[in-house]
Chain A
């Protein structure tokens, strides 16, 4: 492996500070930070996380600035406020 030449991107997930890397999606930054749980399921409230990683399954829904987005298709930005998702 070559060295990682990307800059750090710091954002918040549910109040916790997370350091990702430029070009990461929210889902990849959180997975790399050891956080696979992204939301609770709609009626059972069970923990759910990334599943398809290509924008198809909508399991990784999170809220960014009040908007529901897919964590696997949304790239992290410095200072982004991400909250665990609910339903769209």
Chain B
């Protein structure tokens, strides 16, 4: 029975987004056996979302030009002899071994190389009312529209920071939702400095022009230097308080005004999903503009741990173009190591160029420390454990300002999300040190919550 739950492959890939798909399609084309593990129901990751079969498809032109690459990539991926394991949650790893849960069964994948391409998730900044039903992440709204064809509401507020606010707004307007306000916390002045990263790159230039046309066509004006101060409602969101922020993101309370909405999407950039890398012992570093802690890789996308490679957002948030280019480098490295095929130098140069362009763009949207002043003492900071900012501050005062001390002092980060939601802001909020890098998260087993039965039934590596 146990033997049936063990899989063998040349390469095990975590994540079927742009990086994982490019790497696995190329490796499979060269004759290597590849197993891809993904939590989603369909390949594509968060960016190249596929609707369920038979779901209503939006009119042509409702997606930005860069997403056309997703269609090509998904077709190439489907053509290759890649084993995609859907709904698979990887909960433990060591070099050459990935343990995962799928449909309630406990599996072990044994492989010669591990490729980590798990992507990223929305960065959350707590504000009063952010726990109300109807207040979701910006990414959640995109998944709703682009992944399931669900219309999120009638009157939406989109607030946060970074390039992903734009596809969130266009997904909503494309679904017929009125976007009452679209608020970018970063200042226009700061964004102008990023123009080099946009204008120097033809693809990004076309992309920016497409968004500008779509927003104009829908009558939505992106307001720079604005954000959501609070959400209110009886059991679900009905109103939002919005206003201007200063250059550091501090709310200017005198500018507050209330708008009526029935859905709110908030996203202040992305956070790389690095926990499997940390579990494997890969070296990480803190780069604020890339979303915080990310894995360190060399020019061949090798991590500090032998036989473990990484590509895309896990090496620092950079978007799909970076992810695809780095996925290509990963494939070249593995084919070199396992098959002796010399990797094309052009792939490495292209990935480095995409990374530089992304870094320039994202520098305009590095997290603003003043946004941590949105939360009041009574605001929930840890959603899983219902911990308020005051409780987290008390814990920091009593037990110390390390991430670990705060966690042990007030239970923040001990719930099922394992601090993925509160972690990126908890230490800054509780310890009052918004400008300093937070501590590297401590990864505990299971890396993702799975059933005890899965852990007990896990095949020995």
Contact = CB atoms under 8 A, between A and B. Distances in A.
B449 to A, nearest CB: 6
B54 A42 contact: no
A31 interface: yes
B383 interface: yes
Contacts, number: 132
Contacts of B148: 23-25, 28
Interface in B43-84: 46, 52-59
Contacts of A56: 121, 273, 417, 420-421
A37 interface: yes
A9 B158 CA distance: 31
Q: Which of A7, A48, A55, A58 has the most CB of B within 10 A?
A: A58
Interface SS of B by simple majority: loop
B269 interface: no
A48 B137 contact: no
B197 interface: no
Q: Which of B52, B89, B141, B417 has the most CB of A within 10 A?
A: B52
B56 A42 contact: no
Contacts of B140: 50-54
A57 interface: yes
A18 interface: no
A83 interface: no
A57 B54 contact: no
B449 A43 contact: no
A52 B386 contact: no
Q: Which of B54, B59, B87, B152 has the most CB of A within 10 A?
A: B54
B415 A1 contact: no
Interface stretch (B128-136, B184-192, B430-438): B128-136
B441 interface: no
Contact of A6 (B55, B122, B236, B383): B55
Interface SS of A by simple majority: loop
Interface in A1-41: 1-7, 21-25, 28, 31-32, 36-38, 41
Contact of A61 (B55, B89, B416, B451): B416
Contacts of A59: 383, 417
A57 B2 CA distance: 31
B133 A1 contact: no
B54 A46 contact: no
B150 interface: yes
Q: Which of B133, B139, B152, B273 has the most CB of A within 10 A?
A: B133
A69 to B, nearest CB: 10
A1 B174 CA distance: 9
A49 B144 CA distance: 14
A31 B175 CA distance: 15
Interface of A: 1-7, 21-25, 28, 31-32, 36-38, 41-44, 46-59, 61, 67, 73, 75, 87-88
